[in-house]
């Protein structure tokens, strides 16, 4: 027996207005799920129709192809926040559709440590474990206790603990297998009255080593604002997905080779940071600029932010193809100069191949 479509299903919905880049074509089908039952119904219907499914939160980490998406795009609008103390910690459980910065603001307002460096990041709570969102020396995986999900294979609800999430640098099992789970809610284990996290040198210069969570939040917001990394309708760099490329994480030998090439070409040594497993993280923004792509670069309707070399921006009237062409040019330039292939950070929807920048 055919599955009934969810009430409120729409066809041919433009996706550009739902993303911070304001680029891309329409979704063949679009549905906003406000309850878990509506979400499950939409997934059942898509499976019955043999349609691919994509999920949309705040649209702040998404590049949509000009042709759009040929399946069902579900905007996850689940709401709710529960704060519960116990066992020397406070657990903050946020539904997937809650605005992320509001979750951080609420936590900091309760003097809870663990999320303060992630202030000002746009998007929704449900997207944070997918990308293992991180900034200024803090990653969300450090405080994730549980992620409630719908398993796409069975359409049953379940929960994954932090170990089962497969967290890595800007990665997780949710990102590695995007068709397996739909995030419903995330529970964070936070420290009541704990100190603010100050691991990042730039942040430490502003607040010092022993700052409160409130002071760290305000400093992070100010730093993000100075780099056009806050959602501001008056900022000429506002149409972006933030950092377009992740910082490359290399073996020590690979990092040494990049340094050798950089010094040999007269651009100095790239900043290096310790990463998990004895590996080395290099600053992608430094590599981009030293490969000749300066802040404020324009390629017609797209370009680089005037304040941050990793942010590709859309100035209006452009296409996703324009943006991807610039990303392709930058990646090729960095690889030719330093032998490092940059990896895109945002989700790329509707491009139809494993590497849209190839």
C-alpha angle with apex 272: 268 to 277, nearest 5 degrees? 150
Active-site position among 139, 243, 290, 331: 243
Q: What is the spatial order of strands in the sheet that 10-14 belongs to?
A: 10-14, 26-33, 69-76, 53-56
Catalytic residue, candidates 75, 170, 217, 331: 170
CA distance 323 to 192: 43
Residue 345 φ/ψ region, left for φ over 0, alpha for ψ in the -120 to 50 degree band, beta for the rest: alpha
Q: How far apart are CA 56 and CA 93, in angstroms?
A: 20
Active site residue 170: yes
Is 32 annotated as catalytic?
no
Please return the burial class of 325, using the count of CB atoms within 10 Å of its CB with bins 0-12, 13-18 and 19+: middle
Question: Cβ(24)–Cβ(94) under 8 Å?
Answer: no
**Which residue(s) pair with 75 in the sheet?**
32, 56
Cα separation, 48 vs 50, in Å, equals: 6
How many Å apart are CA 101 and CA 192, to the nearest integer? 19
Distance CA 42, CA 8 (A): 10
The one catalytic residue among 110, 191, 335, 345: 345
For the question of residue 172 being annotated catalytic, the response is no
Q: How many CB atoms lie within 10 A of CB 199?
A: 12
| Catalytic residue ranges | 170, 243, 345
């Amino acid at each position: 027996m055919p599955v009934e479509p969810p009430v409120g299903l729409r066809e041919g919905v433009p996706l550009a207005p739902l993303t911070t880049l304001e680029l891309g074509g329409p979704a063949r089908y679009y549905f906003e799920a406000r309850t878990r039952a509506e979400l499950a119904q939409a997934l059942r219907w898509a499976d019955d129709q043999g349609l691919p499914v994509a999920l949309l939160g705040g649209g702040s980490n998404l590049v949509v192809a000009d042709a759009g998406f040929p399946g069902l795009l579900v905007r996850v609008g689940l709401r709710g926040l529960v704060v519960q103390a116990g066992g020397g910690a406070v657990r903050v459980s946020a539904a997937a559709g809650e605005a992320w910065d509001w979750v951080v603001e609420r936590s900091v307002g309760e003097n809870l440590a663990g999320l303060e460096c992630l202030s000002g990041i746009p998007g929704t709570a449900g997207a944070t474990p997918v990308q293992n969102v991180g900034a200024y020396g803090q990653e969300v995986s450090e405080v994730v206790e549980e992620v409630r999900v719908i398993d796409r294979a069975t359409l049953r609800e379940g929960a994954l603990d932090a170990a089962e999430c497969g967290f890595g640098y800007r990665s997780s099992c949710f990102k590695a297998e995007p068709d397996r789970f739909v995030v419903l809610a995330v529970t964070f284990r936070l420290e009541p009255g704990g100190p603010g996290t100050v691991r990042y040198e730039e942040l430490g210069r502003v607040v010092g080593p022993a700052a409160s969570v409130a002071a760290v939040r305000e400093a992070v917001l100010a730093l993000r604002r100075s780099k056009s990394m806050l959602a501001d309708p008056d900022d000429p760099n506002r149409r972006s997905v933030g950092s377009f490329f992740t910082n490359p994480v290399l073996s020590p030998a690979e990092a040494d080779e990049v340094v050798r090439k950089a010094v040999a070409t007269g651009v100095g040594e790239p900043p290096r940071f310790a990463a998990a497993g004895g590996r080395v993280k290099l600053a992608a923004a430094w590599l981009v600029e030293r490969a000749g792509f300066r802040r404020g670069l324009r390629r017609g309707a797209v370009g680089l932010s005037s304040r941050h070399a990793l942010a590709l921006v859309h100035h209006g009237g452009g296409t996703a193809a324009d943006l991807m062409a610039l990303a392709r040019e930058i990646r090729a330039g960095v690889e030719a100069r330093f032998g490092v292939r940059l990896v895109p950070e945002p989700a790329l929807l509707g491009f139809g191949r494993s590497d849209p920048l190839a």
